[in-house]
Amino acid sequence: MNSKNVIVVKDLLLSYKKGVPIIRDTSFTVKSGSFVFITGPSGSGKSTLLKSFYGELKPQAGFLQIGGVSLNDIKPAKLAFLRKYLGIIFQDYKLIKEWTVKKNVMLPLLIAGYSKEVCEAQTKKLLKHVRLTGKEDYYPLELSGGEQQRVAMARALAHNPVIILADEPTGNLDEYSSRVIWSLLESANEQLGTTIVVVTHSIPTNLKVPFKHHYIEDGRVYEIA
């Protein structure tokens, strides 16, 4: 996973129903270590495009490659392999309600085969990063939306992903939690060189890292900055 272009999109066609394209005639690349915002009107296909990046929706035509892996005809085993390099964050958090905060963050690490000691230490460090020390044994529904998103952020960062894909991660959040999320995304990008792709309604104004801006309109993706 060290290709210069971590995402390569060429003549991409995405659709849910034949003859109804959501994304079409779209080509662009995302360089390793870059920070990319994707904006566009509601219903323009932002979530659809992101879905294709994590293998939830296959291209109908064209070419899509993430970290050198083609997503066009990807097999489940290869997709599971690819997902190890991805950290994904959703607007509605997608935490497991029946699990505590600690388990939500730690279980993926245990599954990935790290020792219990390493998982415990890593989870503790991550929960400190997202300012949730002391809430380890809470369940998601006992937390505010902002706190839940910070758990999701800790989970996404847990396995040191090469690419973070975030779909309106601060869409529903209070200002404090938004600030924590943006600053963690910034420091992952700046300090670890993590490639960040974020779908958002509004680009934060006080970002310290350089970024690119792609805009979706009428099914096409335009690079505007």
Ligand X SMILES: Nc1ncnc2c1ncn2[C@@H]1O[C@H](COP(=O)(O)OP(=O)(O)O)[C@@H](O)[C@H]1O
Considering beta carbons, is residue 47 or 104 the nearer one to ligand X?
47
Query: What are the residues binding ligand X (CB under 6 A)?
Result: 16, 22, 40, 42-48
Considering beta carbons, is residue 52 or 122 the nearer one to Mg ion?
52
- State the DSSP string of 135-197: -TT--GGGS-HHHHHHHHHHHHHTT--SEEEEESTTTT--HHHHHHHHHHHHHHHHHH--EEE
* Per-residue buried b or exposed e for 149-165, using 16+ beta carbons within 10 Å of the residue's own CB: bbbbbbbbbbbebbbbb
Candidate ranges 8-16, 42-50, 73-81, 174-182; the one touching Mg ion (CB under 5 A): 42-50
Considering beta carbons, is residue 20 or 141 the nearer one to ligand X?
20
> To the nearest whole angstrom, how small is the minimum distance from the Cβ of residue 194 to ligand X?
23
Candidate ranges 47-55, 129-137, 138-146, 172-180; the one touching Mg ion (CB under 5 A): 47-55
Q: Six-digit token pair at 186?
A: 């910034």
CA distance 137 to 64: 40
Interface with Mg ion, residue 47, by CB under 5 A = yes
Candidate ranges 5-13, 40-48, 108-116, 118-126; the one touching Mg ion (CB under 5 A): 40-48
Q: Which does residue 159 bind out of Mg ion, ligand X, none, counting CB within 5 to 8 angstroms by kind?
A: none
Interface with Mg ion, residue 170, by CB under 5 A = no
Compute the Cα dihedral for 204, 212, 60, 20 and give only its sign.
Answer: positive
Considering beta carbons, is residue 16 or 222 the nearer one to ligand X?
16
> To the nearest whole angstrom, how small is the minimum distance from the Cβ of residue 46 to Mg ion?
5
Residue of 74, 11, 22, 87 whose CA lies nearest to 48: 22
Q: Which does residue 45 bind out of Mg ion, ligand X, none, counting CB within 5 to 8 angstroms by kind?
A: ligand X
Q: Which does residue 16 bind out of Mg ion, ligand X, none, counting CB within 5 to 8 angstroms by kind?
A: ligand X
> To the nearest whole angstrom, how small is the minimum distance from the Cβ of residue 21 to ligand X?
10
Residue 132 identity:
L
CA distance 52 to 28: 14
Query: Which residue is nearest to Mg ion, using beta carbons?
Result: 47
CA distance 54 to 101: 24
Q: Which does residue 44 bind out of Mg ion, ligand X, none, counting CB within 5 to 8 angstroms by kind?
A: ligand X
Residue of 35, 21, 5 whose CA lies nearest to 185: 35
CA distance 222 to 225: 9
Element (H, E) at 214: strand 212-217
Interface with Mg ion, residue 122, by CB under 5 A = no
> To the nearest whole angstrom, how small is the minimum distance from the Cβ of residue 47 to Mg ion?
3
Residues that bind Mg ion (CB under 5 A): 47
